[in-house]
Structure 1
Amino acid sequence: MKPTEARQNVFQKYEKLGRKLKKLVYDQDEAIDEVIDAFIHMACKPVQSPPRAIFTFIGPPYVGKAYLARSLAALMDDYTAFRQFDMGQYTTPEDETRLLGQVGYDGGQDGELMVFLRSRPRSILLFNEIEKADTRLQNALLEILTGDPQETGLDCSEVLVIFTSTLGSAMYQSRAFMTAVRENRLQAQALIMDAVSKEKKMGLETVQPVISTKLLSVMSQAYLVIFRRLSLDAVVKIGKTTLKTLSRHFSRTTGIELVFEGFVPMVKLLVLSFAPYINTRRIQKRLPDLLLGQITQYVREGHPIPGKAVFRISKAAGTFLKRHYRLSITHSQQLFIRNETIELGWDVETGDDAVTFTLARVARKQLPPAKPLFQDDLPEIKFSATGFDDVAGHGPVKKHLREIISILKKTDKVKAFGIGMPKGMLIHGPAGVGKTLLGKAFAREANLPLVYVSGSDLFDPNFIRQVYQKARVFAPSIVFLDEIDIKGVVEGTLTPISVEQILMELEAVSSDPAEFVFTIVTAQNREDVNPDLVSPGRIDISVEVPELDREARRFFIEKILEKPNDGNIDVDKVIRYISGMSGYELERIGQEAAFYAIRNDLDCITEEILIDQINTIKYGSKLDRKHIRNIEEDLRKTAIHEAAHAVISQTLLPHVKIEQVTITPRSNTLGFVAYTGEDFDDNFTKEEIFNNICVMLSGRIAQIRKFGPSGMDSGSGIDLEQATQLAYSAVAGMGMDEEIGFVHVDTLQHHVEKTMFQGILEKRIQHWIGDASAKAGMLVEKHWDRIEHLASVLIQQEIVDGAELDVLMKGD
């Protein structure tokens, strides 16, 4: 044969193969062309080292990667065998031994792969989802497939190896990137391999590359074939092929003739009925059942087995299809975005030895928002059932979040101002204030599906990759990373979350509104969040959630009052008592109060029970008085001590409301004065700070006034600590001292010289404490009758409410 004829034969052979493949594998013409080009290239050069060739088929799940590999094996005479290895089935050491074999004293035993290759040296091997294999297994496979035959005892020079993967989803799920693939394929391949090289996964206790360094090097030098997302038309073609195949089998098996009137429109409606989650795997497995199941149900209802079954669609169904199928072509995820499906209704007519099934009714149906979509298909994506109306309180926060939602929805205005879409938002605040609830409500109000991630999943880079991959499939969507500031044990060390994978995903977020993925992260402390994550151009919107306001606290108390109660609970009073408590603690109150009632055989909860449980959660459990030495004397001292705090506080700081005064001994204290937290301001004057110090010192001064030297006990230790710290802050950190002036002594001592201002600092702190002690002593003497009266009431009833305290003080 002449060289010219040989070249023509090679080109003709593979061009013919390409045409056949395009009839079998839908919507992947560019990928098939890439494969055919590779085969022509391979035919023109000798084998230099095993294997014959390595292909990496990369792209979204369920788009035909494995099917193209199987089709190649079926159509090519050059290869005599085909074997598919699903790498998700080889995850344990035992599985790896089953695949590769093991070496023993008797020479070893071949695994499935070696056994197959020894008898079939000219074969096609498909390693499906290679990223699911451990890196050790990846390297072992590589040694077998690329090794010297004299060393491995196996010649793979005529073996065609195909790896499939869904890695690099951040790249190939972008329309802009797929356009770049067509214009500059080599550059696109380099970009996607770079993205794959950065992806990580959790090993047993370590973070490791998803693809081993050795395998990645081989892949980058081999043939990389990029697959695209399937259009709805392609999915319909797959549905048609599947239905035709199974219909023929059904007719041969049952003897029932199947007649389709309007076959293509019917398949289109059947495909749409799989919304909101349409993919080829579900179509292939379930679509025929939607039709053939009608016959099965008909017969099982007692009707005779028909000789013929006719399937048709009504005129109304056809009209519906024309309107909605066009919409779905424009945006294949429209039904998902709206959380809708297409509901089908059938009419049945019986004739002579025949039955007609008419697809008569077609309607769009809203699905319940909280229902997860396909729980076995993780990561789970769903619509939140929680909206802002379900979140009590936090009015200013919700207003801010609504403004952010408005930006996400006004994409045209964002473009008009020449700025990019925001990529993410940090919601931060104390534990139990509703950050998670607000994040989910944000998704509901934005009408976007979300993928929620928390706990150990945050430490798995591979899972994070899958999360963003799923989010991009259903974009525009939200990824919600809850408690991004948690720490976990990695390699035996308490370690924060690695943000490398998240950063890579954020960098790859498309600016196209139709493909946009918005990231929400929550944290207790903004300072504990990796600064790279919240830098400009990443998660650069910050929303602070403060402690629960009155409205939110009222919501929790009203939920508690749904339990049996005596009807005499003052809601406003209880709300004052729970200031500063988190949502977790407020949920505990109702539970603990109910447990108390059950333990004591009571029919309902009372206000006294409720307040006692609040104090237990806030300040510790009650102490058994039998176990307290000198209990009566300690109670008298505590009563005078706390009464002095309360009276002097009302005198010097009347704007700070007292919640309660109590001398009930608890695990954390023998008594205390509790304030309504919302009355405190972050900004204090010099006078307010000085008056606070006076209040703190008044307890000990009153004890000494009443009990003499024996009144000087350890119970005032915390008061003295707080008073001294406040005096130090005023002098060294706030520039409030007359002699030192407007100098931040702390800064100088930390950054210049530790001994700077040391002498005068000690002197001035003593001066502040001395002046405060003198003023507190004068006020204790002036209001002594009030202090003793309040102390006597405390000894009688242990607790005095803020409102009762006001009455007692006015009565004097």
Structure 2
Amino acid sequence: IFIDEIDAVGRHRGAGLGGGHDEREQTLNQLLVEMDGFDGKEGIIVIAATNRPDVLDPALLRPGRFDRQVVVPLPDVRGREQILKVHMRKVPLGDDVKPSVIARGTPGFSGADLANLVNEAALFAARGNNKTVNMQEFERAKDKIMMGAERKSMVIGEKEKELTAYHEAGHAIVGRLVPDHDPVYKVSIIPRGRALGVTMFLPEEDRYSHSKQHLESNISSLFGGRIAEEMIFGPDKVTTGASNDIERATELARNMVTKWGLSDKLGPLAYSEDEGEVFLGRSVTQHKNLSDETAHAIEEEIRHFIDRNYNRAKMLLEENIEKLHTMAKALVKYETIDSSQIDAIMAGQEPGPPEDWTDDDDQDQGTSNGVIDKEGQTGTIGGPAGQH
């Protein structure tokens, strides 16, 4: 017997308002009784799956019930390669396709993501009337999954297009210059999914933990877009495009102080609020275990992390203003640039056109270009492995 999402009925008892008599708790009680009723002769094995083992009732996990727990994490690079090989059996592959290369470029992808990657690549090949699926199709499929589908029909004005280019270039340049940051994979001002401008960072290997330096570098790169807007267009022209960047940077800084103990002033203590009982509604049971003085100190430390990394990003962009102009011009012209072009820009050279660039593309400019995401829809930084 397989029960999926066991936490729907197996959540810790005592969380509801029914005093132990609501339907969910009665269902759990009956499930426990039925599981105890099996004996070894009946040959019945009960298996359940959940993404929230921490909220399960302890009675479910006692010996004789679900006494063996198997953790199924996201696949590592070798696992991704093997999963890709299984799904690639169904499609004709070109000679240039290497599963090991694709596996290294997809950290954080689940098995379902990889199956979708192969399927999307096959669709791209079919639309192009190709008999085989080549590496180019896999790259386009990866971009679609990590950054969203292109919305080329969206008509954007030249001013907003230029503003987007500077915003995304600000993210990319700061990300390249701060220490212990994931490498810049691709920058685009083509609207994709809900994001209308995208800067993608891709780790070189799987990350299982994050250093304080890495987290602070992420905060700096998140502010790169807003700072670039302010430097180029003035403080009165800063847009709402950075709203989600600010939200994510603040969340990172708050977790560094309250959850991960990375504040020198407050030390290695956890100040996170109790999440409360989901079935009562978080606002009903959520409570603080902090004094007003401690809460004020926490806010000061969050402000300290934000200010320090905001100022660092601003200094880096001021020192590399010419590279910011060069990258923004390249984005306006090509709409999407990859790591090789970014390397050329950071080396003080003029970037060449993308590999699939044609002269016809130059005539299509101005009709389908990205803007900075408006309220709550800022350009994404990172993919499944590090989407910001």
**TM-score exceeds 0.5:** yes
Report the Cα offset of residue 540 of structure 1: 2.4
CA 1:541/1:800 → structure 2, altered by over 3 Å: closer, same or farther? farther
Per-residue CA distance 1:563-610 (angstroms, 9 max, x = gap): 245434454553344332322232223333333443454444343333
Q: Within the alignment, does 1:607 sit opposite 2:135 as a pair? A: yes
Report the Cα offset of residue 753 of structure 1: 5.2
Supply the RMSD in Å over aligned alpha carbons: 3.7
Q: Which amino acid aligns with 2:72?
A: V
Question: C-alpha separation between the residues in 2 aligned to 1:594 and 1:774?
Answer: 46
> In structure 2, what is the equivalent of residue 527 of structure 1?
54
2:81 to 539, 548, 554: 554
Q: Within the alignment, does 1:728 sit opposite 2:257 as a pair? A: no
8 Å CA contact 1:486–1:497 kept in 2: the answer is no
Question: C-alpha separation between the residues in 1 aligned to 2:228 and 2:51?
Answer: 40
2:223 to 682, 697, 703: 697
> In structure 2, what is the equivalent of residue 668 of structure 1?
194
Corresponding residue SS for 1:661: strand
Q: Which amino acid aligns with 1:543?
A: V
1:543 to 70, 83, 90: 70
8 Å CA contact 2:168–2:188 kept in 1: the answer is yes
Report the Cα offset of residue 717 of structure 1: 1.0
Report the Cα offset of residue 547 of structure 1: 1.0
Report the Cα offset of residue 779 of structure 1: 1.0
Report the Cα offset of residue 523 of structure 1: 1.9
Question: C-alpha separation between the residues in 1 aligned to 2:24 and 2:65?
Answer: 22
CA 1:663/1:572 → structure 2, altered by over 3 Å: closer, same or farther? farther
Per-residue CA distance 1:230-280 (angstroms, 9 max, x = gap): xxxxxxxxxxxxxxxxxxxxxxxxxxxxxxxxxxxxxxxxxxxxxxxxxxx
Q: Which amino acid aligns with 2:6?
A: I
> In structure 1, what is the equivalent of residue 162 of structure 2?
636
Q: Which amino acid aligns with 2:33?
A: M
Report the Cα offset of residue 674 of structure 1: 2.6
In the comparison of the two structures, how many residue pairs are matched? 325
Corresponding residue SS for 1:723: helix
Q: Within the alignment, does 1:781 sit opposite 2:309 as a pair? A: no
> In structure 1, what is the equivalent of residue 117 of structure 2?
589
> In structure 2, what is the equivalent of residue 793 of structure 1?
330
User: Which structure shows the bigger proportion of residues in strand conformation?
Assistant: 1
> In structure 1, what is the equivalent of residue 126 of structure 2?
598
Q: Which amino acid aligns with 2:115?
A: E
Question: C-alpha separation between the residues in 1 aligned to 2:118 and 2:161?
Answer: 30
Report the Cα offset of residue 542 of structure 1: 1.9
Corresponding residue SS for 1:542: coil
CA 1:709/1:753 → structure 2, altered by over 3 Å: closer, same or farther? closer
> In structure 2, what is the equivalent of residue 619 of structure 1?
147
Report the Cα offset of residue 537 of structure 1: 4.6
Per-residue CA distance 1:657-701 (angstroms, 9 max, x = gap): 44433332112212223333654343432x333322111111211
8 Å CA contact 1:548–1:582 kept in 2: the answer is yes
Q: Which amino acid aligns with 1:640?
A: Y
Question: C-alpha separation between the residues in 2 aligned to 1:734 and 1:675?
Answer: 23
8 Å CA contact 1:657–1:675 kept in 2: the answer is yes
Question: C-alpha separation between the residues in 2 aligned to 1:616 and 1:496?
Answer: 43
Q: Which amino acid aligns with 1:713?
A: T
Q: Which amino acid aligns with 2:71?
A: E
Corresponding residue SS for 1:585: helix
Question: C-alpha separation between the residues in 2 aligned to 1:555 and 1:738?
Answer: 44
Question: C-alpha separation between the residues in 2 aligned to 1:545 and 1:486?
Answer: 19
> In structure 2, what is the equivalent of residue 504 of structure 1?
33
Q: Which amino acid aligns with 2:179?
A: L
CA 1:547/1:634 → structure 2, altered by over 3 Å: closer, same or farther? farther
CA 1:502/1:607 → structure 2, altered by over 3 Å: closer, same or farther? same
Of all paired residues, the percent bearing the same amino acid is: 27
Q: Which amino acid aligns with 1:531?
A: P
Question: C-alpha separation between the residues in 1 aligned to 2:33 and 2:57?
Answer: 14
8 Å CA contact 2:215–2:252 kept in 1: the answer is yes
8 Å CA contact 2:181–2:214 kept in 1: the answer is no
Report the Cα offset of residue 773 of structure 1: 1.6
Q: Which amino acid aligns with 1:671?
A: G
> In structure 2, what is the equivalent of residue 484 of structure 1?
6
> In structure 1, what is the equivalent of residue 306 of structure 2?
769
Question: C-alpha separation between the residues in 2 aligned to 1:680 and 1:535?
Answer: 33
Question: C-alpha separation between the residues in 2 aligned to 1:525 and 1:705?
Answer: 45
8 Å CA contact 1:636–1:791 kept in 2: the answer is yes
Question: C-alpha separation between the residues in 2 aligned to 1:785 and 1:709?
Answer: 20
Question: C-alpha separation between the residues in 2 aligned to 1:515 and 1:674?
Answer: 54
Corresponding residue SS for 2:190: coil
Corresponding residue SS for 1:726: helix
Correspondences of 1:238-387 after superposition (within 5 Å): none
CA 1:497/1:714 → structure 2, altered by over 3 Å: closer, same or farther? farther
Gaps of 5+ in 1: 1-452, 454-479, 488-492
CA 1:496/1:647 → structure 2, altered by over 3 Å: closer, same or farther? farther
Q: Which amino acid aligns with 1:587?
A: A
Per-residue CA distance 1:153-201 (angstroms, 9 max, x = gap): xxxxxxxxxxxxxxxxxxxxxxxxxxxxxxxxxxxxxxxxxxxxxxxxx
Question: C-alpha separation between the residues in 2 aligned to 1:533 and 1:620?
Answer: 40
Question: C-alpha separation between the residues in 2 aligned to 1:722 and 1:705?
Answer: 22
Question: C-alpha separation between the residues in 1 aligned to 2:97 and 2:160?
Answer: 32
CA 1:629/1:660 → structure 2, altered by over 3 Å: closer, same or farther? closer
Corresponding residue SS for 1:794: helix
Question: C-alpha separation between the residues in 2 aligned to 1:794 and 1:679?
Answer: 29
8 Å CA contact 2:190–2:336 kept in 1: the answer is yes
Report the Cα offset of residue 724 of structure 1: 1.3
CA 1:584/1:542 → structure 2, altered by over 3 Å: closer, same or farther? same
Question: C-alpha separation between the residues in 2 aligned to 1:527 and 1:591?
Answer: 34
Q: Which amino acid aligns with 2:299?
A: E
Per-residue CA distance 1:526-560 (angstroms, 9 max, x = gap): 13544321134532222211112222322344433
Corresponding residue SS for 1:639: helix
Gaps of 5+ in 2: 10-21, 275-285, 350-388
> How does the TM-score come out when normalised to structure 1?
0.36
> In structure 2, what is the equivalent of residue 335 of structure 1?
none
Per-residue CA distance 1:481-510 (angstroms, 9 max, x = gap): 4443457xxxxx996993445433543455
Report the Cα offset of residue 517 of structure 1: 5.4
2:211 to 684, 687, 710: 684
CA 1:689/1:569 → structure 2, altered by over 3 Å: closer, same or farther? same
CA 1:529/1:742 → structure 2, altered by over 3 Å: closer, same or farther? closer
Q: Which amino acid aligns with 1:608?
A: Q
Corresponding residue SS for 1:673: strand
Question: C-alpha separation between the residues in 1 aligned to 2:101 and 2:232?
Answer: 32
